[in-house]
Structure 1
Amino acid sequence: MQSKATTADQYISELPEDRQEVMKKLREAVKSNLPKGFEENMQYGMISYVVPHSIYPDGYHCKPTDALPFLSIASQKNHIAFYHSGIYTDPELSDWFVNEYPNHATGKLDMGKSCVRFKNFKNIPFKLLGELSSKITVEQWIEKYESVIKK
Structure 2
Amino acid sequence: MHNKIDTPEDYINQLPEERKVPIRKLHNLIKDNMPVGLEAGIGYGMLAYYVPKSRYPSGYHCKPFPPLPFINLASQKNFIALYHSGLYAKKDLYDWFVAEYPKHAKYKLDMGKSCMRFKKVDDIPYPLIKELLGKMSVKEWIAIYEKSLKK
Same fold flag (TM > 0.5): yes
* 1:46/1:72 contact within 8 Å kept: yes
Query: Alignment identity in percent?
Result: 53
* 1:86/1:136 contact within 8 Å kept: yes
**1:50-89 mapped onto 2 (5 Å cutoff):** 50-89=50-89
Partner of 1:34: 34
Q: CA RMSD in A?
A: 1.3
**1:100-119 mapped onto 2 (5 Å cutoff):** 100-119=100-119
* 1:49/1:70 contact within 8 Å kept: yes
Matched AA of 1:143: A
Name stretches of at least 5 consecutive residues in structure 2 with no aligned partner: none
Count of residues paired in the alignment: 151
Partner of 2:46: 46
1:5 aligns with 2:5: yes
Name stretches of at least 5 consecutive residues in structure 1 with no aligned partner: none
For 2:79 and 2:63, the matched residues in 1 are separated by 27
Dislocated runs of 4+, deviation >3 Å: 1-4
Q: CA deviation at 1:135?
A: 1.1
| SS, match of residue 33 in structure 2 | coil
1:146 aligns with 2:136: no
Q: CA deviation at 1:28?
A: 1.4
Matched AA of 2:88: Y
For 1:58 and 1:47, the matched residues in 2 are separated by 21
CA gap 1:4/1:45 in 2 versus in 1, 3 angstroms: farther
For 1:101 and 1:20, the matched residues in 2 are separated by 24
Matched AA of 1:103: K
